[in-house]
Amino acid sequence: MQVTNANRQLLRTTQTFVSRITTLCLRTAHLQVRRHSTRKPPTRIARPSTATLLQRTTSAPHPRTFHTSPPARMSDADYEAFLNKANADSNEGKAQAQAQSEGYGTKSVNTAVPQALKSVEATYTSDADEPFEPVALNYQGDEITEQQLKTILSHNDEVEELSVAKWDPKGQYKNVVDTVKKVVDGEVKVFRVALSGAREEYYVVGVKDSKVLGLKALSVES
Annotated domain spans of the chain? 115-220
> Which pLDDT belongs to residue 97?
39
Q: What is the pLDDT of residue 99?
A: 38
pLDDT tens-digit profile, the chain (222 residues): 444 666 677 777 777 766 777 777 777 766 665 665 555 555 566 666 665 555 665 555 555 554 555 555 677 777 777 777 776 665 554 444 343 344 456 888 999 999 999 999 999 999 999 999 999 999 999 999 999 999 999 999 999 999 999 999 999 999 999 999 999 999 999 999 999 889 999 999 999 999 999 999 999 988
pTM of the entire predicted model: 0.55
Tell me the one-letter amino acid at 97.
A
Q: Residue 75 has what pLDDT?
A: 75
Of 153, 154, 101, which is closest to residue 128 (Cα–Cα)?
101
- C-alpha distances out from residue 122 to 53, 74, 126, 154, 174, Å: 73, 55, 13, 26, 10
Give, in degrees to the nearest 5, the angle at Cα 35 between 32 and 37.
105
Tell me whether residue 42 is exposed, middle or buried, using C-beta atoms within 10 angstroms of its C-beta: 0 to 12, 13 to 18, 19 or more. exposed
Which pLDDT score is estimated for 165? 96
**Nearest Cα to Cα of residue 151 among 94, 209, 191, 200:** 191
- The whole-number pLDDT of residue 174 equals 97
- CA 81, distance to chain mean position in Å, is 33
CATH, domain range 115-220: 3.40.1460.10
Rounded Cα distance, 56 and 58, in Å: 6
